[in-house]
Amino acid sequence: MNFTFRDKRIAGILTVLPEHEQKFADDMRNFDFPKARSLKLKQVMGYDRHRLVSAGTCASDLAVFGLRHLFEKGLLTPDGLDAMIVVTQSPDFFMPPTSNVIQGELGLKQDLFCMDITQGCAGFVVGLIQAFLMLEQESVSRVALVNVDILSRKVSTKDRNSYPLIGDAASITIVERGTDPSPIYANLKMDGTRREALMIPAGGFRLPSSPETAVPEDVGDGNFRAKDNLRMDGTAVFNFVQVEVPPMIDELLAFAAVPIDQVDWFLFHQPNKFMLQKLADKMKVPHAKMPSNVVEKFGNASGVTIPTAITLNLGERLQSESFQVCLAGFGVGLTWASMLMKMGSMRFCGMVDYPEQGDR
């Protein structure tokens, strides 16, 4: 499905990272894995360190901290928001929505359209599409898109397919009407028949959590995880990305009539360095145009890796410069989505640490 939006822009992005950093070298002590193989894995996949929340920290805590930071710095006014979209797979509760929790904690006005979207690694692009759709209404002139996940709390520490790469983070993206004449192009695809490639099997109504679902099981290759934990079929997900993403980008660029060499940056979701470099090679995009340094420095925080890539690699440059950027997210659902837009003239674009107070 293709989309075209006009007169919309991203006015600012703030990434919120838990200050606790864990080293890959320490993680590997959880596994029966020779040191030489760990080092090779670190080099190829780009694992090095990741940011993780403490046991008591929830998604709304990171989001409230980030929004308060913007209010206190005078970069955003509470009454200036007309809608808030929260994209997360790790909500505070089944009910109420996390967006309402954040609204209540911050005392935001009642005239605020609060919406939760359950999405993962494609969640930044999906959230932007939803924000742009809301901005088609005259009554909506500014939307806060909150992407947040704290999935480290759902990953088995004994699962070396998932634990070393997982990260926790939030981002707040302010989306407004703009005057740049360049349209924004997007496309989106979903395939629920492959939904089991990435899932948390227990904890919903289909399979409620119980003492049995909390028991770690031997799932082969020296990995142990419970049904309460995140499960990723790494081979299936890798193959999905390599098969589906390059043609999606071809289709997007053809739809926008923009040659690939006119794109300044390819800011893609970052599961690991190897997967991104294979995508870049397939698309004949120089590795330097497709940064792959987020998972190495912070871990993979699903929908937050794209805004983290933006704030880490472009940061304050986006306050004075403008770039043609191609965004792409792919993951749970399965969902894959991309967007081509001019990005720049932001009021802010940076990162802030969330101070942890609880125990890990």
Sites of contact with another protein (CB under 8 A): 37, 40-41, 44-45, 160-161, 220-221, 234-235, 238-239, 241-243, 274-275, 278-279, 281-282
Q: C-beta of 291: minimal distance to another protein in Å?
A: 18
Nearer to another protein, 45 or 145 (CB): 45
Nearer to another protein, 5 or 240 (CB): 240
Orientation of helix 273-283 relative to helix 35-45, angle to 10°? 40
Q: C-beta of 40: minimal distance to another protein in Å?
A: 5
Q: C-beta of 87: minimal distance to another protein in Å?
A: 26
Nearer to another protein, 1 or 243 (CB): 243
Q: C-beta of 37: minimal distance to another protein in Å?
A: 7
Nearer to another protein, 6 or 37 (CB): 37
Nearer to another protein, 24 or 185 (CB): 24
Q: C-beta of 244: minimal distance to another protein in Å?
A: 10
Nearer to another protein, 45 or 140 (CB): 45
Nearer to another protein, 86 or 197 (CB): 197
Q: C-beta of 164: minimal distance to another protein in Å?
A: 10
Judge whether 331 and 198 are in contact, CB under 8 Å: yes
Report the distance separating Cα 235 and Cα 340, nearest Å: 28
Q: C-beta of 276: minimal distance to another protein in Å?
A: 10
Residue given tokens 């308060």 in the structure block: 68
Report the distance separating Cα 351 and Cα 305, nearest Å: 12
Nearer to another protein, 336 or 348 (CB): 336
Q: C-beta of 30: minimal distance to another protein in Å?
A: 15
Q: C-beta of 243: minimal distance to another protein in Å?
A: 6
Nearer to another protein, 15 or 38 (CB): 38
Q: What is the 3-state secondary structure (H, E, C) of the chain?
A: CEEEECCEEEEEEEEEEECCEEEHHHHHHHCCCCHHHHHHHHHHHCCCEEECCCCCCCHHHHHHHHHHHHHHCCCCCHHHCCEEEEECCCCCCCCCCHHHHHHHHHCCCCCCEEEEECCCCCHHHHHHHHHHHHCCCCCCCEEEEEEEECHHHHCCCCCCCCHHHECCEEEEEEEEECCCCCCEEEEEEECHHHHHHEECCCCCCCCCCCCCCCCCEECCCCCEECCCCCEECHHHHHHHHHHHHHHHHHHHHHHHCCCHHHCCEEEECCCCHHHHHHHHHHHCCCHHHCCCCHHHHCCECHHHHHHHHHHHHCCCHHHHCEEEEEEEEEECCCEEEEEEEEEECCCEEEEEEECCCCCC
Pick from 163, 162, 223: nearest CA to 33 = 223
Residue given tokens 């679902």 in the structure block: 213
Tokens for 309? 């890539």
